[in-house]
Amino acid sequence: MTAPTRVLLVDDHRLVRSGFSLILSVEEDLEVVGEASDGDEAVRLTRELRPDVVLMDVQMPVMDGIEATRRIVADGASKVVILTTFDRDDYVFAGLGAGASGFLLKNSDAEHLVEAVRAVAGGHALLAPEVTRRVIEQMAGSTGPAENTGRRGSRDERLDDLTPRELEVLGLVGRGLSNAEVASRLFVGEATVKTHLSNVFAKLHLRDRVQAVVLAYEAGLILPGDAADPPRG
């Protein structure tokens, strides 16, 4: 029998930790091994308990979640999912820089929380579509109009190995759509979308969804205006 995924919960609110613990503990393949109320304690417990996944709040006393994430990722033993409410966009991008493997809205339902832990434990990066859109908007805001002009006018050689369908999937993921939304828009199953996305990652040597968004933007598959009104299925 496969050992359960070990999870450390980090939040300065006891009720939040209790709620997450209750949700995760009923899953046979997940095990909550500890709780921390600040970043410093999170780093210490991570080194002591060696959890597979750390669910990390951002705003906490003693040490914030960004610095704690940076130290945990540097140790290389655990993966971090940052919990965000989007009160501060800079937290999202600081978290990316610190090496977080994913972001999750604090008000996500139980199913999404469980899926997030499983995905990150399995080696996949997790970005809520809303976070993806913020990443696009941030990139668009840091790029001047002159740099964006005619981005689709020249072919990016990195895309030459992709099939037309893989290219389409990359463009939709780059706009912030979830796998389910991409599947709905393309009239295919979600498993098919996952297969196409895995092929894209392999062919383009991408580590995760974050890198896919950046490449889609750099390659001209999406433009700043695309992020404001992403297509829906």
Give percent of the chain above pLDDT 70.
76
Question: Are both 224 and 150 inside the same structural domain?
Answer: yes
Cα dihedral 60, 66, 69, 74 sign: negative
Question: Are both 149 and 117 inside the same structural domain?
Answer: no
103 vs 134: which has the higher pLDDT: 103
| 175 located within any domain | yes
* Pair 55, 68: CB distance under 8 Å: no
Question: Are both 95 and 165 inside the same structural domain?
Answer: no
Q: What share of the chain is helix, strand, coil (3-state, %, to 5)?
A: 55, 10, 35
Domain total of the chain = 2
Mean pLDDT of 122-141: 65
**pLDDT averaged over every residue in the chain:** 80
Question: Are both 57 and 103 inside the same structural domain?
Answer: yes
For residue 88, what is the domain's CATH number? 3.40.50.2300
Which pLDDT band holds residue 101 (cuts at 50, 70, 90)?
Answer: confident
Last residue of a domain, one of 82, 111, 127: 127
pTM across the whole model = 0.65
Residue 145 has pLDDT above 50, yes or no: no
For residue 199, what is the domain's CATH number? 1.10.10.10
| 103 located within any domain | yes
pLDDT at 29: 92
Residue 152 has pLDDT above 50, yes or no: no
Question: Are both 14 and 118 inside the same structural domain?
Answer: yes
Residue 11 has pLDDT above 50, yes or no: yes
* pLDDT tens digit sequence for 85-100: 765 566 667 777 788 8
Question: Are both 109 and 19 inside the same structural domain?
Answer: yes
Q: Which residue has the tokens 């095990």?
A: 31
Question: Are both 83 and 190 inside the same structural domain?
Answer: no
181 vs 135: which has the higher pLDDT: 181
* pLDDT tens digit sequence for 42-72: 999 999 999 999 999 888 888 998 999 999 9
Question: Are both 110 and 11 inside the same structural domain?
Answer: yes
Measured distance CA(205)–CA(197) in Å, rounded? 12
Last residue of a domain, one of 127, 146, 172: 127
Question: Are both 163 and 219 inside the same structural domain?
Answer: yes
Question: Are both 58 and 88 inside the same structural domain?
Answer: yes
CA atoms within 13 A on the CB side of 4: 14
Question: Are both 146 and 119 inside the same structural domain?
Answer: no
Last residue of a domain, one of 97, 127, 157: 127
**Domain of 115, in residue numbers:** 5-127
Q: Of the given ranges (21-25, 114-118, 156-160), which has the lowest mean pLDDT?
A: 156-160
| 233 located within any domain | no
pLDDT at 97: 74
| Cβ-Cβ contacts under 8 Å for 198 (sequence gap 6 or more) | none
Which pLDDT band holds residue 102 (cuts at 50, 70, 90)?
Answer: confident
Question: Are both 140 and 41 inside the same structural domain?
Answer: no
Q: Of the given ranges (19-23, 37-41, 150-154), which has the lowest mean pLDDT?
A: 150-154
Pairing between β-strand 102-105 and β-strand 30-36 as defined by DSSP bridges:
unpaired
Measured distance CA(138)–CA(140) in Å, rounded? 5
